[in-house]
Amino acid sequence: MIFNKFVETIDKHNMISDGDKIIVALSGGPDSVCLIHLLNRLKESRNLEIYAAHLNHQIRGIEAQMDAMYVSELCNKLNIPVFIKSVDVPAYCEKNGLSLEEGARKVRYEMLYEIKRRTGSNKIAVGHNMNDQAETVIMRIMRGTGLQGLRGIEYVREDGIIRPILDIERKDIEEYCTKNELDPKIDKTNLESIYTRNRIRLELIPYMKEHFNGNVIESIVRLSNSMKSDGDYIDTESMKAYKEVCTIDENSVEINIDKFLELHEAIKNRVIRFSIRDVLGDTNFVDQKHIEEVIQFIRTSKNGKVINLPRGVFVYRKLDTILFTMEEIKEENLEFNYNIPKDGFIKIKELGLLIDSSKISIEKYRSLKKDEMVKAIDFDKIKGGITVRNRKPGDKIKLKGGTKKIKDLFIDLKIPREDRNRVPILVDEDGVILAGEYRVSENYKIDETTKNVLKLSIKKL
């Protein structure tokens, strides 16, 4: 009966194709032992290559060593190659500032992906069951979730993770192991109410079964499957919008704010979730409250602001976009200082710019075609030599409305904080002549008395 249900789930979700190479995450507990036994029965008819992978977390001492020995013996009986790795997960978590649960998961999946790559496998099978599904949905409801969270655990992921026993209850799995004399190992920590999931499993669900609904697990899973159907449709529409409003590269995702704000609220939520997923690789430990925090940030924040999401994701508000990245953007402490010839050119290697200067008559200047990258100042108003440098504290520039600090000008122009030291400032003995491509001081502008013009062309190298 379990085998038929297992095959039905595989075929319904197109989990396995003939000739697949599959890594089984084998802890030695009932779920993973049942899974590898079922896959082994399917191996010949589907022409499968199966490997097992076991991680000793070094959390449970001699018991963990015995689990590894059991896994090795089981795989030997089934004639399945097994990879066993031992990692001091508590030390790893302390070093990287992770919880034991998060660290163990990270190390386990890193191992599975490494073995997948080395063996040329294309699938990783993990032993989540129907009870795990119900527990996950309850946990997400308690944290505050949206429709995406109610979908629960996915049957198939884009990275090759498959869950063939997700439609089978834990009690049926345990009965299968007993019937086939598999003698799986029991992790005693799963029997202690020390983690949220354990308390849901050992206390909350039994209480719900006794006092409210004896079939509560099936009911929750039925809700989850219904949400999957609705969610799949909305996801399809959201992905279209995501591609229209986002610029995606290898390390970041950037959302056009104006286009984003025109989207339906349900689509907005998913665009944010897709952005986080493409930066992190998944959305584990990202809750609905984090999605809502980003949406509020988009609506109300000012340019240059940043918020932090779980697992080291930075969200930056820029002029017209929101940037998701794992890299912290810091203001560069650039320092440069060059003398500019009144007829010649100078390279600013720190900025990758070339400034070309030439003295021309006002008549010749007025005959030139306008070019946004060319700035013109009254040559005869310059006092002494001209220097180009990075901005300095206290720099001011004369504008039509009066004198303004360069710092305040950059804020008004919404120049990102990390770009402000990259704006070349031209000065003479009296003060600031111009601030990059943005403003020319009123004290140096061409007027009706101008006879000679200093033409400045700012180009990228």
**Same domain (yes/no): 241, 116:** no
Contact 172, 13 (CB under 8 A): no
- Residue 99's pLDDT is what? 81
- Here the CATH number for the domain that contains residue 277 is 3.30.465.60
Instruction: Give the structural domain span for 454.
Output: 337-460
**Cβ neighbours of residue 381 closer than 8 Å, sequence gap 6 or more:** 443, 444
Instruction: Please compute the mean of the pLDDT values over residues 328-351 and round it to a whole number.
Output: 83
Instruction: Give the torsion sign (CA, 402, 405, 408, 409).
Output: positive
**Same domain (yes/no): 303, 376:** no
Q: What is the DSSP string of 405-454?
A: EHHHHHHHTT--GGGGGGS-EEE-SSSEEEETTTEE-GGG---TT--EEE
Contact 251, 327 (CB under 8 A): yes
Residue 259 has a CB neighbour count (10 Å cut-off) of 15
- Residue 427's pLDDT is what? 92
Is pTM, for the whole model, over 0.75? no
Lowest mean pLDDT among 29-38, 170-179, 186-195, 335-344: 186-195
For tokens 């930075």, what's the residue? 314
In a domain, 407, yes or no: yes
Domain count, the chain: 3
- Residue 189's pLDDT is what? 60
Contact 53, 36 (CB under 8 A): no
**Same domain (yes/no): 295, 346:** no
Helix segments in 338-400, DSSP class H? 362-367
**Same domain (yes/no): 396, 422:** yes
**Same domain (yes/no): 56, 173:** yes
Domain boundary among 325, 351, 378: 325
- Residue 319's pLDDT is what? 77
Residue 151 has a CB neighbour count (10 Å cut-off) of 24
* Cα 267 to Cα 273: distance, rounded to the nearest angstrom: 10
In a domain, 287, yes or no: yes
Instruction: Please compute the mean of the pLDDT values over residues 163-174 and round it to a whole number.
Output: 95
> Which pLDDT tens digit goes with each residue over 273-314?
999 999 988 887 788 889 999 999 998 877 778 899 988 899
- Here the CATH number for the domain that contains residue 381 is 3.50.40.10
For tokens 């100078």, what's the residue? 346
**Same domain (yes/no): 94, 196:** yes
**Same domain (yes/no): 318, 342:** no
458: confidence class by pLDDT, cuts 50, 70, 90:
confident
Residue 204 has a CB neighbour count (10 Å cut-off) of 16
In a domain, 148, yes or no: no
In a domain, 157, yes or no: no
Q: What is the dihedral of CA 87, 91, 95, 97, to 10 degrees?
A: 100
**Same domain (yes/no): 78, 197:** yes
**Same domain (yes/no): 297, 445:** no
User: Angle CA(309)–CA(310)–CA(313) in degrees, nearest 5?
Assistant: 55
* Residue bearing the bigger pLDDT, 99 or 426: 426
Q: What is the mean pLDDT of the chain?
A: 89
Contact 20, 48 (CB under 8 A): yes
In a domain, 144, yes or no: no
**Same domain (yes/no): 51, 176:** yes
**Same domain (yes/no): 396, 266:** no
Pairing assessment for the beta strands 452-460 and 353-361 based on DSSP bridges:
antiparallel
Contact 446, 377 (CB under 8 A): yes
95: confidence class by pLDDT, cuts 50, 70, 90:
confident
In a domain, 365, yes or no: yes
In a domain, 154, yes or no: no
Domain boundary among 278, 304, 325: 325
In a domain, 79, yes or no: yes
DSSP code at position 49: E
- Here the CATH number for the domain that contains residue 11 is 3.40.50.620
Locate 398 and state its tokens. Answer: 């004369």
**Same domain (yes/no): 385, 428:** yes
